[in-house]
Structure 1
């Protein structure tokens, strides 16, 4: 069900930015919590995440700032940011080109589906890659499994769990999460491990 833009003003900003990027011919996809929302999940956060390629970052900033967004190149080195000044305040979009140390490539941007987000069609990152990004954010400094459970539960049938297992096996925090959701009946860790080994 679509969220009213009166109740969730970030949706209007998301649609405006997506339109501008599509109109400029810049490849991108919706990621983060709004991608979970677009895929039927329940997670909607306080900002918008788009994935872009590093080579397109300057062009993305120029396109959006020319349309009235306020841009910033932060020191982190894996994203750029823009703000949309609205009656609801300054609404943030993160334009990420290297999430969780995984550079965005043409292959990343092909791992998407065109989905209508409140009647605006745009490429949305696959549920599998969304889950991989979520579990790889956890470390000794931040490990909140409660943030990942709604994603795993609401998108579980869309997620390629053997691929998640295979691409996150280096992370003990990811493995602990997969063990937890196996015990909760969300997925089968034994099956994911066996099918991953068969690839």
Structure 2
């Protein structure tokens, strides 16, 4: 397992070096970014944020560096392979499209033998919470990440940006009860009340059409 992760880091270094040399704007995200910020090692692919308008150029640069392109069925990312290691070039993560402002929030950090822009911990956690649903709801995987990054996370911002997800609300409440998340008291209940109020307005009697 350690050898696999070392190979993943080497792939990350190759990706970072190629994109930096070609001056393609990007930021690391996903598991490799969590690890760069002090979280657990990732066993998955390398995730990279790029703007939609830079996606094709990023693929071209990485192919020129010896990787091979792949055609994904999804429309929100492109893919390349560095040998057997998958690199996802994501231009529209779960919350919103990648913009210049998204990339500007990244911080330069040491990743393997290079420095790379790494997405902020708050953004990483928001993305992970927003993909939770009844089929993907493994808190045991996410709690170690929250614990490792807790001092870097703006918990109020996470709660605000994930307020529409009951799964995120449940995990944040658990993290709060475990002493991991510093949430304002009753923030989860307030988010629930806000959603309930909005639902009541939407489901209320239709507006009169009288002239």
Provide TM-score, normalisation by structure 2.
0.84
Kept after mapping to 1: 8 A contact 2:156/2:184: no
CA distance in 1: counterparts of 2:92 and 2:140, whole angstroms? 24
- SS at structure 1 position matched to 2:102: helix
Q: Give the direction of change, closer, same or farther, for the CA distance of 1:144–1:5 in structure 2 (3 Å limit).
A: closer
Partner of 2:123: 129
Partner of 1:21: 19
Partner of 1:34: 32
The Cα of 1:141 is off from its aligned counterpart by 2.4
The Cα of 1:92 is off from its aligned counterpart by 0.9
Kept after mapping to 2: 8 A contact 1:35/1:125: yes
CA distance in 1: counterparts of 2:124 and 2:23, whole angstroms? 24
Kept after mapping to 1: 8 A contact 2:5/2:43: no
Runs of 4+ with >2 A deviation: 4-7, 188-194
- SS at structure 1 position matched to 2:164: coil
CA distance in 1: counterparts of 2:104 and 2:186, whole angstroms? 23
Residue ranges of structure 2 left out of the alignment (5+ in a row): 192-211
- 1:120-171: per-residue Cα shift (whole Å, max 9, x none)? 0010000000010110110122211122111100000000000000100011
Kept after mapping to 2: 8 A contact 1:49/1:94: yes
Larger radius of gyration: 2
CA distance in 2: counterparts of 1:183 and 1:81, whole angstroms? 39
Partner of 2:154: 160
The Cα of 1:6 is off from its aligned counterpart by 7.9
Partner of 1:180: 174
**Does residue 111 of structure 2 align to residue 117 of structure 1?**
yes
- SS at structure 2 position matched to 1:114: strand
- SS at structure 1 position matched to 2:137: coil
CA distance in 1: counterparts of 2:4 and 2:125, whole angstroms? 29
**Does residue 100 of structure 2 align to residue 106 of structure 1?**
yes
Partner of 2:187: 193
RMSD: 2.1
Partner of 2:135: 141
Q: Give the direction of change, closer, same or farther, for the CA distance of 1:177–1:16 in structure 2 (3 Å limit).
A: same
Kept after mapping to 2: 8 A contact 1:37/1:44: yes
Kept after mapping to 2: 8 A contact 1:111/1:126: yes
